[in-house]
Amino acid sequence: MPLLEVDGLEVQFFTPRGVVKAVDGVSFKLEKGQTLGIVGETGSGKSVTAFSILRLVSNPGRITGGSIRFEGQDLLTMRDRDVRRIRGREISMVFQEVMTSLNPSYTVGEQMREVLRVHLGQSGQQARKSALDLLTRVRVPGPETILDRYPHQLSGGMRQRVMIGIAIACQPKLLIADEPTTALDTTIQAQILDLLEDMRQQLGMAMIFISHDLGVVARVSERIAVMYAGRIVEMGDKYEVFDSSLHPYTIGLMDAIPRPGSRHKPLQPIRGAIPNLLHLPSGCPFHTRCPRAEARCAVETPELLQWKTAHWAACHFAGDLRSVVAPLADPVT
């Protein structure tokens, strides 16, 4: 039984201007201890997918279809009380908003002890000791002093360490990291990524790592899912997805990244812009920007199909894509 099984997830936002399909039929599986990286542009539905797993999609958004099974139990039909027992204990989350995800009015220690109290029933000296252990574990210097500090007295990197500390407090089975390094300096980014990877290995957690940054995702994930306009358009083993991309969108993303040794090859931006989610194009949502698009792409929506052992893609031409756009997709290495 997989640890997490998302099947046909649909999330819609009921805005005054119309219904936005933020997530449209997303399915994936995650085994114990595995890492899945979700890549996509802003608005591709990657964060909404993550929030759906904890059932934290807020108004005007609503999960309108599909199922999310965690250790075989459907999180979407579960009672609120039972979901709360899973949040922060079995499944934890680390957020992009490092500056604002801790309550400014409480000390770091209080916000750590709170989780230990609610989920593990710890209090007093015991909770304090656990909090100290956690801070040491996430390599916060001088944990005793940090415990009594308020969030505004800490740097962004330090706050993210504290947040990771809170997230692993109950040794969860799954850690969802939603752009955990985006708001940080590059040097701090690397440290946080290393820390996340170490924690994952020490605790044997599975991890869903969400980022718009292909390089960051590649660094921490074994498997990659590429999202576009609320759908997974390509998914598979990291090397498969990066080195032999099957979907024109992924190929476009790869060509937009500067790489060592590719100085003479101009960067190729993907033409056009992300479609308005209120009025998605018919058929394949990418067809308006796709160099490979044909008439059927505007009519038929391609399904996410398996093309190789560990490689799925949602493109009508995934089978013959590589030969057609070979010049663009030439592996740089």
Partner 1 sequence: MIASYVVQRLFQLVPVLFLVSIGIFLIIQLIPGDPVMVMLGATPETSGNINRQQYEELRHQLGFDQPLPIRYLNWVSKVVRGDLGMSLKSRRPVLETLLERYPATIFLAITALIGAVIVAVPAGIIAAVRQNTWVDYLAMGFSLWGVAMPNFWLALMLIVLFSINLGWLPSIGYTSPLVQPVDFLRHAFMPAIVLGASTSAHLTRYLRAEMLEQLSQDYVRAARARGLPPLVVIVKHAAKNSLLAVVTVVGLQTARLLGGSAIVETIFSWPGVASLLLEGIYARDYPIVQGAVLILALTYVFINLVVDVAYKFLDPRVRLE
The dihedral region occupied by 203, where left means phi > 0, alpha psi between -120 and 50, and beta the remainder, is: alpha
The nearest distance, CB 200 to partner 1, in angstroms, is: 18
Q: Hey, what are 142's tokens? A: 């001088």
Q: Which of residues 43-72 bind partner 1 (CB under 8 A)?
A: 54, 56, 58
* Residues found in the chain: 333
Residue 27, both tokens:
């399915």
Q: Is residue 26 within 8 Å of 45, Cβ to Cβ?
A: yes
Question: Could you give the 3-state DSSP secondary structure of residue 258?
Answer: coil
Could you tell me which residues come within 8 angstroms of residue 215 by beta carbon, excluding any fewer than 6 positions away?
257
Q: Between 82 and 185, whose beta carbon lies closer to partner 1?
A: 82
Q: Is 102 in the site for partner 1 (CB under 8 A)?
A: yes
Residues 6+ apart with CB under 8 A from 238: 37, 218, 221, 222, 223, 224
CA atoms within 13 A on the CB side of 173: 10
CB of 161 to partner 1, least distance (A): 15
- Tell which positions 159-188 bind partner 1, by CB under 8 A: 163, 166
Minimum distance from residue 151 beta carbon to partner 1 (Å): 9
Q: Of these, 84, 128, 212, 322, which contacts partner 1 (CB under 8 A)?
A: 84
**Is 270 an interacting residue with respect to partner 1 (CB under 8 A)?**
no
What residues from 4 to 43 belong to the interface with partner 1 (CB under 8 A)? none
Site membership for partner 1, residue 103 (CB under 8 A)? yes
Stretch of 99-107, 203-211, 235-243, 316-324 lying at the interface with partner 1 (CB under 8 A): 99-107
Which one of residues 35, 49, 52, 92 is an interface residue with partner 1 (CB under 8 A)? 92
Distance, in Å, from the CA atom of 289 to the CA atom of 273, rounded to the nearest integer, reads 8
- Name which of 23 and 175 has its Cβ closer to partner 1: 175
Find the binder of partner 1 among 4, 20, 86, 235 (CB under 8 A).
86
Asked if 180 and 8 count as a contact pair (C-beta separation under 8 A), the reply is no
Task: Give the Cα-Cα-Cα angle 187, 89, 227 (nearest 5 degrees).
Answer: 55
Give the residues lining the site for partner 1 (CB under 8 A): 54, 56, 58, 84-89, 92-93, 95, 97, 100-105, 114-115, 118-119, 150, 152, 163, 166
